[in-house]
């Protein structure tokens, strides 16, 4: 059986708190706390506040990346956790995110990414 190199957790959060999704500092802090909960190591970050509304952000972590995109006008946030670590506690992450954005409605998809092989692929 082939092992995957990593996996990605796609989290769709609905009926979120509009004001929290529009607060750049809140979103940054929430994502940094998510990294702590996941036990990942932040290497760099980039966040951007759109006009008239919405925020996109990424944390580059030693284990891959964490991203968020908010659509306050739809009360929706999309969060991706892409990691090579198999130790991620999805349940704790979801509970934290739902509590942070005051939502109880969410959907999760988990995807294995890449295949470990014993040969080199060259172009």
69 is catalytic: yes
Exactly one of 84, 98, 100, 119 is catalytic; which is it?
84
Is 4-84 in CATH node 3.60.90.10?
A: yes
pTM (two decimals):
0.87
pLDDT per position as a tens digit, 63-117: 889 999 999 999 999 999 988 766 777 889 999 999 999 998 999 998 877 776 6
Could you say which DSSP state residue 3 is in?
P
98 is catalytic: no
pLDDT per position as a tens digit, 7-51: 889 999 999 999 999 999 999 999 999 999 999 999 999 999 999
Q: How far apart are the C-alpha atoms of 56 and 73, rounded to whole Å?
A: 14
Exactly one of 65, 69, 85, 98 is catalytic; which is it?
69
**Residue ranges per structural domain of the chain:** 4-84
């Amino acid at each position: 059986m082939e092992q995957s190199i990593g996996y990605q957790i796609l989290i769709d959060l609905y009926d979120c708190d509009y004001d929290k999704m529009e607060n750049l500092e809140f979103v940054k802090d929430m994502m940094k706390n998510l990294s702590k909960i996941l036990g990942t190591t932040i290497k760099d970050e980039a966040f951007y506040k759109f006009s008239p509304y919405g925020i996109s952000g990424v944390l580059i972590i030693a284990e891959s990346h964490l991203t968020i995109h908010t659509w306050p006008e739809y009360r929706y946030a999309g969060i991706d956790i892409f990691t090579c670590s198999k130790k991620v506690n999805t349940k704790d992450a979801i509970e934290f995110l739902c509590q942070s954005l005051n939502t109880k409605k969410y959907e999760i998809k988990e995807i294995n990414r890449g295949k470990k092989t014993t040969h080199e692929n060259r172009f």
